[in-house]
Amino acid sequence: MKSSTKYIIVLFLIFSSYNYGFSQNDHRLWYNKPAKIWTDALPIGNGRLGAMIYGGIAQEQIQFNEETLWTGKPRNYNRKGASQHLAEIRRLLAEGKQKEAETLAEAEFMGLKSEAGDRQKWVLEMKAGKGITGNPATIDYDDKLWKTIQVPSYEGWELVGLANVDGAVWFRTTFEAPANWNGKDLVLDLNRIRDQDFTYINGTLVGNTDNLDARKYTIPAKLIKTGTNTIAIQVLNYFDKGGIAGFKDTKRHIGIYPVGSNVENGVSLVKRWRYLIQNTQPPEVAQYQASYQPFGDVIFKFAHESTYTNYKRSLDLNTAIVNTSYTVGQVNYNREYFASEPNQAIVMKMTADRPNSVSLDVTLSSVHQHAETKMLNDSTLGLFVRVKDGALNGEARLTALVKNGSLKVVDQHLVIAKADEVIFYLTAGTNFVSDTNVNGRAANANDIAWLNLEGKKYDLIKKHHLGEYGQYFTSFNVNFGTSANAKLPTDQRIEKFATEKDPALIALYMQYGRYLLISSSRKGTQPANLQGIWNDMLTPPWGSKYTTNINFEMNYWPADVLGLAILNEPFFSKAKALSVKGEETAKEYYNAKGWVLHHNTDLWNGTAPINASNHGIWVAGGAWLTQHFWEHYLFSKNEKFLRNEAYPIMKKSAEFFVEFLVRDPKTGWLISTPSNSPENGGLVAGPTMDHQIIRSLFNNCIEASQILGVDESFRKSLQEKVKLIAPNQIGKYQQLQEWLEDKDDTTNKHRHVSHLWGVYPGSDITWSKDAKMMEAAKQSLLYRGDDATGWSLAWKINFWARFKDGEHAMKLVKMLLKPATNGSAGSYVNLFDAHPPFQIDGNFGAAAGIAEMLIQSHQDYIELLPALPSELPFGKVNGIRARGGFMLNFNWNEGKLNEIEILPKVGGVCWLRYGENEIKLNTEVGKIYRLNGKLEIISTKSIYQ
């Protein structure tokens, strides 16, 4: 730990104890039953290794990840010479020919995909029956030994029994045709199938579709017989979700019925079908970017009975330890899990309160097709995986230390009998070195970890874990009071939260966001991705990548304000690596200096446009990343950081936009084109969000260069250009315009509210700068509505906080904390944010949003309780941060501020506001300033007294 970090921790400990007696709350998630599915399980992580703990009784599953196991390989994502089409795309947009511009951009301006395999050859082989005996399409085919699976699999067959399977799978079922169907043509309505199907009725091919369009095949009457009929479908899934998906509206049934009728008057096919996997080796699918991968699973099978009492599983945020306890017979069992950063291992301890009671069988496995388990020594299993069609491989090791029992290896299993306790150490690594180097040795991380673990007692390893984790978690505390529901299991609290007051759950959720950031982002690691560090799927949603048109940035919104500034380091390191790759993209696509990043990136730091031209050509991703550098400077006032880290990357981004911006022939303003308003409205010229971000970037560079006393001529050029950038505009509906033209649709409920970037996280629009524009922004948000995906709800909490409407902000908090059921946004049982599916940005964004309700410092002054809702009449916070380099404690009761303590990190003027009261304090480092609720000074005291 750096000495400066130790100093801040010491200051915090002194500061937080001063006159408050503020103890750490019981911030704990707990449940009275084991996890059934992945989003019930409890997460642990040390920044590099992550694990999900299920807490089963007879069988326990630990699903684990290592941050650098991804698909893909180092390659150039940029299309050479794309810039030669830039002028034509701009011309088409200027003439209002959006579709023509998108068509040209799709053909000539997108990034390069990875190489694809020979799909045509593979499909022909599957149709010819390669890999199976006989023809499953025929009526008399014997399928009695086939397994069964639920159909439809609405979100992919991976979730109903075919985990991480891509390839060819046969499905068979039967239906009974009544006599009155005789002579009638029928409709077989299957709706969506992923990806291609060959559908047979009684052995005859009746349909073939190779896309996600709805399947509604007409069956000639001559193929149907009264009584039993056979349906056989060969499904070819190339990538991602597979299977007969049916309707998005799960109340609608797939089925078969007479032409002119409907399924309600026919036969539903929603049931269990028989299936047979024909092939799991489809050809490689060309991808714009790579996907984060799961590593493996540890499965513990216990020798005791499955009947139990006194069950409890919990995650203590104060210690980052998961605990599972229960009673079987007369024996009380306990398991303890944590992810050690000092020792780079997932640590697991299993005990019982009676001797010789711990007996279990342990295996390592993986969903990767190329995976193998080996015995490495008489107490260690090794798991070796290789990512399909990629450059990365991994090695994990599981070592058992047994006290007073036996341990042996049988058929690549660890078999433990009659032990008093067992301690397991799980380590993992890959061959990833950098975005251009995969020549590492996967075993190295295991070797280093074991050298560090060997000979150390469990209590010492746990002590080091608690100390290392504690330095981050204890830097902030919050207490909103309690209620009766605080005694309930967490899943029950979530169910009741919408209708019953539970302020402690809001504090828990806030601290859970901090816990997840600590667990998925440590110095020297990769930054938190779309799912933090936790993923159990080979094709996770959106690749579990880094979506840079909000989601990646949102992950780090709470870092500075909630005392986790040091955890920005992986974000900053990623941004610097992207700036290197982004220079080539700027040159190839825009013939410009500087660097650019579009709306997504991955482990390999791709910066080119991806996915589709109607939303993938968005140029402001890099500029948004640099905003985090500037914000970190504002919170820390660290001039060395500004000079060496922030300003260089900000300047290079600004250099790009100096050359990229062009004059709009209609208005004369400088505009951003081509781009879009993520991810809404298609390819356009002049989206409002871009102009807010670029204007903020230019202003940040101007101020930074003045502070540092550098680049006077560059500063003057920015001062001239920033005046010419298209301004924010109020449209005909009194809304903040999303585009250059006044064309907003007030019925549009899109999840992105991109044109409000200037309200939050930016400060391009504030009450003090332009109250009328703030009102227009609020009107835009009212039109957009409250209902949204999880991360969008989190963003809207921050908006309403900036609008100083605490009640509306609390309404969004309640929506985010409702149970995520039936495909709705909200929170899963383990409090993971539901887009749906799981995306971690909502957890982080909401934690920042709750902080924004308590303190705001983006307008030259620090405002306390600017958006306090009536449901939080009481509260205390310790260690919250504000721009200007200030740490604060404050508390309130009956909705009114009681007392504040201020600790300046660098000194200088601290301008405080609360309600109608304000004060400007000339502060000095090393002193604590106490004020009452009227902002009157009570005392000034040295921290050394």
CA distance linking residue 66 with residue 70, whole number of Å: 9
DSSP string, 590-649: H--SS--B-SEE-TT---S--S-TTTS---BHHHHHHHHHHHHHHHH--HHHIIIIIHHH
Q: Quick one: pLDDT at residue 247?
A: 95
One-letter amino acid identity for 677? S
Q: What is the mean pLDDT of residues 246-274?
A: 96
Task: Give Cα 748 to chain centroid, integer Å.
Answer: 25
CA distance linking residue 372 with residue 441, whole number of Å: 17
Query: Which one of 279, 297, 327 terminates a domain?
Result: 279
Task: Give Cα 40 to chain centroid, integer Å.
Answer: 16
Give how many domains the chain has, as a whole number. Answer: 3
One-letter amino acid identity for 223? L
Query: Token pair for residue 492?
Result: 């029950």
CA 771 to each of CA 681, 753, 767: distance values in angstroms, whole numbers, following the listed order? 27, 19, 4
Q: Quick one: pLDDT at residue 922?
A: 96
Q: Is 550 helix (H, G, I), strand (E, B) or coil?
A: coil
DSSP string, 679-713: TEEEEES--HHHHHHHHHHHHHHHHHHHHHT--HH
pLDDT, the chain, mean? 95
One-letter amino acid identity for 579? S
Q: Which of 67, 49, 109, 69 is nearest to 85 (CA)?
A: 109
- Contact criterion met (CB below 8 Å) for 795 and 753: yes
Q: Quick one: pLDDT at residue 4?
A: 44
Q: What is the mean pLDDT of residues 399-417?
A: 95
- Regarding whether 354 and 210 lie in a shared domain, the answer is no
Q: Which residue has the tokens 């585009």?
A: 739
Which residues span the domain enclosing 441? 32-72+289-474
Q: Which of 281, 289, 273 is nearest to 237 (CA)?
A: 281
Q: Quick one: pLDDT at residue 945?
A: 67
Q: Which of 495, 526, 501, 718 is nearest to 605 (CA)?
A: 526
Query: Residues 626-662: pLDDT tens digits?
Result: 999 999 999 999 999 999 999 999 999 999 999 999 9
Q: Quick one: pLDDT at residue 427?
A: 98
Question: Is the peptide bond preceding residue 687 cis, with omega within 30 degrees of 0?
Answer: no
pLDDT at 226 over 50: yes
Q: What is the 8-class DSSP label of residue 943?
A: T
pLDDT at 701 over 60: yes
What burial class does residue 497 get, using C-beta atoms within 10 Å of its C-beta: 0-12 exposed, 13-18 middle, 19+ buried? buried
What b/e sequence results for 802-820 when a residue is b if at least 16 CB atoms lie within 10 Å of its CB, and e otherwise?
bbbbbebbbbbbebbbbbb
What b/e sequence results for 82-100 when a residue is b if at least 16 CB atoms lie within 10 Å of its CB, and e otherwise?
bbebbeebbebbbeeebee
Residue 517 belongs to a domain: yes
CATH number at residue 344: 2.70.98.50
Query: Residues 718-728: pLDDT tens digits?
Result: 999 999 999 99
Query: Which one of 803, 836, 853 terminates a domain?
Result: 853
- Regarding whether 722 and 581 lie in a shared domain, the answer is yes
Q: What is the mean pLDDT of residues 324-340?
A: 97
One-letter amino acid identity for 819? P
One-letter amino acid identity for 679? E
Residue 6 belongs to a domain: no
- Regarding whether 412 and 382 lie in a shared domain, the answer is yes
Query: Which one of 799, 830, 853 terminates a domain?
Result: 853
Residue 943 belongs to a domain: no
Q: Quick one: pLDDT at residue 646?
A: 98
Q: What is the mean pLDDT of residues 424-441?
A: 98
What's the pLDDT band for 25 if we cut at 50, 70, 90?
low
Query: Token pair for residue 283?
Result: 């050809």
Q: Quick one: pLDDT at residue 14?
A: 46
Residue 10 belongs to a domain: no
Residue 940 belongs to a domain: no
Query: Token pair for residue 4?
Result: 């400066």
Residue 611 belongs to a domain: yes
CATH number at residue 843: 1.50.10.10
What's the pLDDT band for 6 if we cut at 50, 70, 90?
very low
- Regarding whether 734 and 604 lie in a shared domain, the answer is yes
What's the pLDDT band for 824 if we cut at 50, 70, 90?
confident
pLDDT at 852 over 60: yes
Q: Quick one: pLDDT at residue 881?
A: 98
Q: What is the mean pLDDT of residues 192-199?
A: 97
Least confident segment among 21-25, 505-509, 606-610? 21-25
Q: Quick one: pLDDT at residue 869?
A: 98
- Regarding whether 761 and 683 lie in a shared domain, the answer is yes
- Regarding whether 127 and 63 lie in a shared domain, the answer is no
- Regarding whether 208 and 306 lie in a shared domain, the answer is no
Query: Token pair for residue 327?
Result: 């009673």
DSSP string, 707-769: HHT--HHHHHHHHHHHTTBPPP-B-TTSPBPSSSSS---TT---S--GGGTTTTT--SS-TTT
Residue 79 belongs to a domain: no
- Regarding whether 497 and 449 lie in a shared domain, the answer is no
CATH number at residue 176: 2.60.120.260
Q: Quick one: pLDDT at residue 163?
A: 82
CA distance linking residue 602 with residue 579, whole number of Å: 14
Which residues on adjacent β-strands are paired with residue 219?
186
Q: Quick one: pLDDT at residue 93?
A: 97
- Regarding whether 257 and 190 lie in a shared domain, the answer is yes
What's the pLDDT band for 1 if we cut at 50, 70, 90?
very low
- Regarding whether 459 and 322 lie in a shared domain, the answer is yes
- Regarding whether 630 and 520 lie in a shared domain, the answer is yes
- Regarding whether 300 and 223 lie in a shared domain, the answer is no
Residue 815 belongs to a domain: yes
